[in-house]
Structure 1
Amino acid sequence: MTLVGWCPGGRTVAEMLKTYEGTGAGRIFVQPRKALPPWDGPVLAPLVDAGVVVHLSYKTNLIGEVLAWVGRKPAGLRLKLTKNHEPEQQKDGDPTVEEFHAGQAELVSAFDGHPTRDEIWLGPTFTRYWWQANPGDTRWMPRQPVDFVGWDVYNNGATYRTPDDLLSIPRAVAEKLGVPYLVAELGAQRLPTDTDGTGQAAWMRAMVDAARADGALTVCWYHKEGWDLLAAGAETGRRTWQTITLEEAPVATTAPENLLAARRLLLDHLGEHGLSGAAVGIVGDPAHRGGYHCGSDRVVSNDYSVVESSRDRTGLARWACALDVGGFEVVVGGRRYDLPHLSAWLVSECAKDAPDTRDIREVIYSLDGSTVVRWDRLGRRRTGDSSHRWHTHISFHRDAIKAGRDQTGVFRRYLTTIGVIATEEDDMTRDDVKAAVREALQERMTLPGAIGTRMGQLGSSYGPDIAPWTLWARVFEKVITGSGVDVDEQAIVAGVLAGLPPERIAAAIPPEVARQVVDELTARLRE
């Protein structure tokens, strides 16, 4: 989730909070040679009381003062901290390049091991203007590890510039550093031709939509001079920012429907075999901070579940993105299946890059109740803590959860493989058949566009006496037996009749016969 808020400029914090219901972030700037604002004063106390995330930028304050000030920070409050705000401007109080990097190193070192480090996000804030005017000049690029990179982004010129234009530099630097970006100051003065302010309002929404899609941490509108939305004549812009702020109001970490569906599937079929509802968890308990069980309101600075993959940085939202599965024991056909079996099977499928596992980031598990191991798609870690001796943890990339992609497929396949879910030959609808063809052949086998077009033209009518799986079987039998390609015909046909998932069937079909399959199926569906 991208937190939306404001920079008060010349306004009071109390006035801003009253104007913008649902404020998620407040960006406070400390002028050179000014003291850091007290936590119980008129600047910070209202933000603390409202639960607003504070981003404080300062220029000249010494590290001792900063540490003492942070030591008085209310427990649990998340703070984003910037030293040497906009150093590129080289104005009063700005450091030289070497002073800037030395200052960043001092700040990072000072907070290394700090007791509230996971609540404190450290990062520079730059002005996009300078980087645009000096393409390729990386003298200010952070040399120390940071938790974010902030930007002041203002529209300039005779038009409202596009988000792709204005955010290209923040995106590129964030990608290079491997951290999220935030917009510390956003602003666009209303153009003379925009007489009713609707152009400015549309630009606001487009910028926030783009930043949200990028996984930006915050977007704060700058309220001063020509950018002050509380000034007379700025009513359209003010109402728009009020609406956006309320729409993006922070919410607690939430269990997403796609993981709830996976949870229901497991409990429906394994609940009677010892898997309890309490043992299948998605959202971490209230004390849980950081990791895939947490949404944007509970991730911590340098959180591995955010910074190590662009899929997680862009997918950061309110959703918890992990599923814990506890113990069970089921006997089918004289064979015993349990949590270690599920874990080993799932890791094997992930290692083979099975299509229905590609959204899984990691699996943390134990096969013997003693040694904890981890399969990590990114290859970063191999172990986990001792709590995973008794449950298996499955993390999903945040972009997949945010997009609402179904995650039941791999679990349904496991339950079918071990015989807990019985296969049924002919329970698919006509729409199911067409969807299965598209999914199995077009997406899984990366067919040429022409075939994809043909699939989109599949007929929707066939005789009610022709059951879908029987139709599949006839098509595969005809095409494969006459293709001259060396394939295991009986295995494919048996798989079709057994109701295996489309991706499993597609995996057995050589690409060179896929076109024939589509043509034949098209003909059959039009009969």
Structure 2
Amino acid sequence: MLGRTVTTAIAVLAGTLLIPTPLASGTPAAAAAPPCGASFLPETKGETYQQAFERVNDYYGLESVRVFYSGLPRHWPGKVDAGKLPLSVSFKANPREVTAGKHDQHFRKWFAETPKDVDVHWTYYHEPEDNIEKGQFTAAEFRAAWKHLHGIAQQANNPRLRSSLILMSWTADPPSERNWKDYYPGSAYVDVLTWDAYNKIKGTTKNYRSPEEILGNAVAVNKAAGKPLAIGELGSALASGDKDGSGRAAWLRETTEYLAQHGALWVQYFDVDYRPQGHSDYRLRDKASKTAWHDFCRR
């Protein structure tokens, strides 16, 4: 779900393609703010996934929703009713089983029944890099499975159903010693190249890194690939000494402005306490941070 470090001007909002109007020479271009979104999980005993969505939506006024399935996607309407909000839905299945057609019946039904009045971006195996590194499957097997699923998705003939490859922004950074092309099934099979990006994953968060340091290499990859940019997970724990969250709030505003300048289609915050998984608590529960994300959603 998380990368190991933090990680064309077309914006999609509720099915409408927004293409910037050319400005007169010398007129500075104002970046269109991308739709905001969030990931979330139940936080109290008895809270359902639907109730968790409603709670987080009340916090911020979401414009898109990130939905995770640890296995095959649940048939529609799925595990959350988000109304007409755009959805980013990821799911997992063994690549060899996918390519062999074991799950074809399930996916034909799922893609065919995807809503036609809502923008849905599907993702097969978000952040596959670590799984491949651990030897669970190969990059070639991942790419083959993606192409197989893309073919089934195309049969649905739904113009509001699109594919979104999600990688760790860490993968784009030279110290990772990874090549994003290893996970790229090809331009014809990917509509949006999306990144999960974090200020810091593990240990003490001492400061807030600049958006360029976190995302600059990922943005360069999108330009090289000629694909629209999106952020599937954005997150940071509170840094040491940032007791009131004002530092994180400033970081959120700076980062979302940076992403707007680079034409991001959407930016979704990872509003989850991930300490049980050995990571950090990324939730925005201090007033300053919560207000910053609310303002981004409502601007």
Q: Same fold (TM over 0.5)?
A: yes
User: Is 2:122 aligned against 1:81?
Assistant: yes
Deviation digits for residues 98-143 of structure 1, max 9, x if unmatched? 1111012112222335321x21111210111243232462422333
Aligned to 1:27: 66
State the 4+ residue runs in structure 1 displaced beyond 4 angstroms: 91-94
Q: RMSD of the TM alignment (CA)?
A: 2.2
Q: Which residue of 2 is the match for residue 59 of structure 1?
A: 92
| Mapped partners of 1:84, 1:216: distance in 2 | 21
- Quote the Cα distance in structure 1 between the aligned partners of 2:240 and 2:264: 30
1:184 and 2:217 aligned:
no
Query: Looking at CA atoms only, which structure, 1 or 2, has the larger radius of gyration?
Result: 1
> Are residues 1:142 and 2:185 paired?
yes
2:266 to 181, 205, 218: 218
* Offset of residue 37 of structure 1: 3.1
Give 5+ residue unaligned stretches, structure 1: 248-527
Over 3 Å counting, the alpha-carbon distance change for 1:63 and 1:14 in structure 2 is: farther
What's the TM-score, normalizing by structure 2? Answer: 0.72
- C-alpha distance in 2 between matches for 1:151 and 1:63: 27
Q: Within 5 Å, which residues of 2 pair with 1:342-491?
A: none
Q: Give 2:5's aligned residue.
A: none
Q: Quick one: percent identity of the two aligned structures?
A: 23
Superposed CA deviations along residues 438-488 of structure 1, whole A, max 9, x for unmatched, are: xxxxxxxxxxxxxxxxxxxxxxxxxxxxxxxxxxxxxxxxxxxxxxxxxxx
Aligned to 1:158: 206
Task: Write out per-residue CA displacement over residues 352-394 of structure 1, whole angstroms, 9 at most, x where no aligned residue.
Answer: xxxxxxxxxxxxxxxxxxxxxxxxxxxxxxxxxxxxxxxxxxx
Deviations 1:151-184 (A, max 9, x none): 1100026321111111112212211221111100
- The normalised TM-score by structure 1 is 0.42
Partner of 1:95: 137
2:153 is the alignment partner of 1:111 = yes
**Which of 41, 45, 48 matches 1:9?**
41
Q: Which has the higher contact order (CA 8 A, sep 6+)?
A: 2
Give 2:220's aligned amino acid.
Answer: A
Alpha-carbon separation, structure 1, partners of 2:235 and 2:65: 15
CA contact 2:112–2:156 (8 Å) conserved in 1: no
Aligned to 1:501: none
Distance 1:143 1:150 in 2: 14
Query: Aligned letter for 2:77?
Result: D
Distance in 2 between residues matched to 1:3 and 1:143, nearest whole Å: 26
Is the contact made by 2:245 and 2:288 (CA closer than 8 Å) also made in structure 1?
yes
Whole-angstrom distance in 2 between the partners of 1:94 and 1:24 = 35
Aligned-partner Cα distance in 2 for 1:27–1:102: 25
- Listed one character per residue, the Cα deviations across residues 185-240 of structure 1 (whole Å, up to 9, x for unaligned) are 0001110121221110011011111111111111011011110124xxx2321122
| 1:219-368 → structure 2 map (5 Å cutoff) | 219-225=267-273, 226-230=281-285, 234-247=286-299
CA drift of 1:93 comes to 10
Partner in structure 1 of residue 3 of structure 2 = none
Q: 1:24 to 1:239 in 2, by over 3 A?
A: same
Alignment partner for residue 39 of structure 1, among 76, 82, 86?
A: 76
Alignment of 1:493-512 (within 5 A): none
Decide whether the 8 Å contact of 1:87 with 1:94 is kept in 2: no
Q: Which amino acid aligns with 1:140?
A: Y
**What's the CA shift string for 1:393-435, capped at 9, x where partnerless?**
xxxxxxxxxxxxxxxxxxxxxxxxxxxxxxxxxxxxxxxxxxx
Per-residue CA shift, 1:294-319, capped at 9, x if unaligned?
xxxxxxxxxxxxxxxxxxxxxxxxxx
Residues 208 and 126 of structure 1: is their aligned pair in 2 closer, same or farther, counting only changes over 3 Å?
same
